[in-house]
Structure 1
Amino acid sequence: MTHGASFDVPASERLDPTKYLRKREGSPGGLKLKPKREEGSSPRIAAAPGSPPAKPQRSSLFWRMYDRGDLPVRVEQARHNTIRWTVELSSVDLHYYFPIFVDGLLETQEPYRMLAQRGTEELVAGAAAERLLPVIPQLVMGLRAALRSPRDDTIQSALAVLRLLVASGPDAGLALVPYYRQLLPPLSRHISDNLNLGDRMDYAQASHRGTLGDLVLATLHALERGGGADAFHHIKYQVPLYESCLRPSRVARKA
């Protein structure tokens, strides 16, 4: 009795099971693809000591334009935390540049962060109220992104801009009312936040210290005072814990 010829079967390569996708994850070839670093993404720095881990934020147009020399502002080397405009402030095209500066509030690396905060503050202070009003709708998305940031100092910067806008003219607060739905929901999470901001520099309001909840409340008070007769109801709808600064509270009425 003869036996059939034997064949050497090469051992198959064992693939790493962790490289395969789970059901419905879908990818050509069924292998996990390593996420690529987005080209042109904003430079990153380590979070400040004691701050919660920062989640990735979208890339800011501000730093790219500054590095290309496309913004009419520079760091004033002779003075600390000061900026220098390369054109007359009154001639800056607010429709074009102001949304870019507000977008820059998301920056975490210097000098971009300082430039964006100082620049935003000076654009509000240096522009006539009638020039600011038409630009407010263009600022909403940038302010909303900053208010939703996981970083307390970024939220603080956006709150300062809102207060500056309300104070810029009698109609600015009214112009913000239609955008409460986009701007105020993030504040509902922080109105009772008593986490102290510490010594981190706030370029827009360097003298204002307190908890994040205090700054949220101060901003809501400014919006109510400048937003007209119905401002409180619109704020209350978005921030249920808010109590009016212009009318007696429920506790006072019961007393």
Structure 2
Amino acid sequence: MSRLGEGSQSRAFPAKATGKNSAVAYPPPSAGAFRERPSKPTNFRKLYESRDIPIQMEYHPRGNTIRWKVEFEKLDYHHYLPLFFEGLCETVAPYNFYACKGVHDMLDNGGPKILPVVPQLIIPIRNALNTRNHDVMCTTMKVLQHLVKSGDQVGEALVPYFRQILRVFSMFKNKNVNTGDAIVYGQQRRENIGDLIQETLETFERYGGKDSFINIKYMVPTYQSCMTR
């Protein structure tokens, strides 16, 4: 170890590093809190490849969509809605498109079938947010906003699970695209993580009932109520 004056150089951060004449050799390693955590291929992808999911692509000049082979009234939401939520982790086309479009279709057409399934959605939601992948996080937050608006009491049913899904919100709340044209473009496409987190938290508060704010505030201390504005 090289010498620095009369003291010595030491690594961060043993007791020796706090000595009067000691210097730190290098900063401590990053904890990697914001580092992307790629997920493995999901069950959604595996079942789609085995043709066990009742959808297929429809090609249109104005944009592709999916066609359902089963009417929503006959669709088993306890099976398929968590499965499509699991697919939100996908970053490879066309699986990410199928999962996202399928989730929104099911939320648009599920009505009272959605509320009983909420507890089954928490692990897929948490897994998607924990990927730390920008596109996956943005997609998931837009889905969460749609989810709490999709039926009566769905927003309130999500409140007990805030401690499981809002930890990442607290970490990324102030993490926006840096400056210039990039941030403007991101805002136009609703792909700015910090703005989407704020928007999603406000939606949670509006649709989550009387206990929503205190539970949000517990997990995201910097959040200010949107109901008093």
Q: TM-score, with normalisation over the residues of structure 1?
A: 0.70
Instruction: Count residues with an aligned counterpart.
Output: 190
CA distance in 2, matches of 1:74, 1:97: 15
Identity in percent = 38
- Is residue 73–residue 83 contact of structure 1 (8 Å, CA) maintained in 2? yes
Select 2:53's aligned residue among 36, 47, 71. 71
Secondary structure (helix, strand or coil) at the match of 1:84 reads: strand
Q: Please identify which structure carries the higher helix content.
A: 2
Q: Does 1:135 align with 2:117?
A: yes
Inter-CA distance 110–199: structure 2 relative to 1 (3 Å threshold): farther
Q: Which has the larger radius of gyration?
A: 1
- Is residue 81–residue 114 contact of structure 1 (8 Å, CA) maintained in 2? no
Q: Pairwise CA RMSD of aligned residues? A: 2.0
Spell out the pairing of 1:1-255 with structure 2 (5 A cutoff).
54-78=36-60, 80-128=63-111, 130-195=112-177, 208-247=189-228
Secondary structure (helix, strand or coil) at the match of 1:161 reads: helix
Q: TM-score, with normalisation over the residues of structure 2?
A: 0.77
CA distance in 1, matches of 2:185, 2:49: 28
5+ residue gaps, structure 2, are 1-33
How far off is 1:199 after superposition?
Answer: 6.8
Q: Please identify which structure carries the higher strand content.
A: 2
How far off is 1:197 after superposition?
Answer: 7.3
The one-letter code matched in structure 2 to 1:148 is: N
Runs of 4+ with deviation above 4 angstroms: 196-200
5+ residue gaps, structure 1, are 1-51, 201-206, 249-255
Secondary structure (helix, strand or coil) at the match of 1:75 reads: strand
How far off is 1:75 after superposition?
Answer: 1.0
CA distance in 2, matches of 1:73, 1:91: 14
How far off is 1:209 after superposition?
Answer: 2.2
- Is residue 138–residue 191 contact of structure 2 (8 Å, CA) maintained in 1? no
The one-letter code matched in structure 1 to 2:221 is: P
Secondary structure (helix, strand or coil) at the match of 2:67 reads: strand
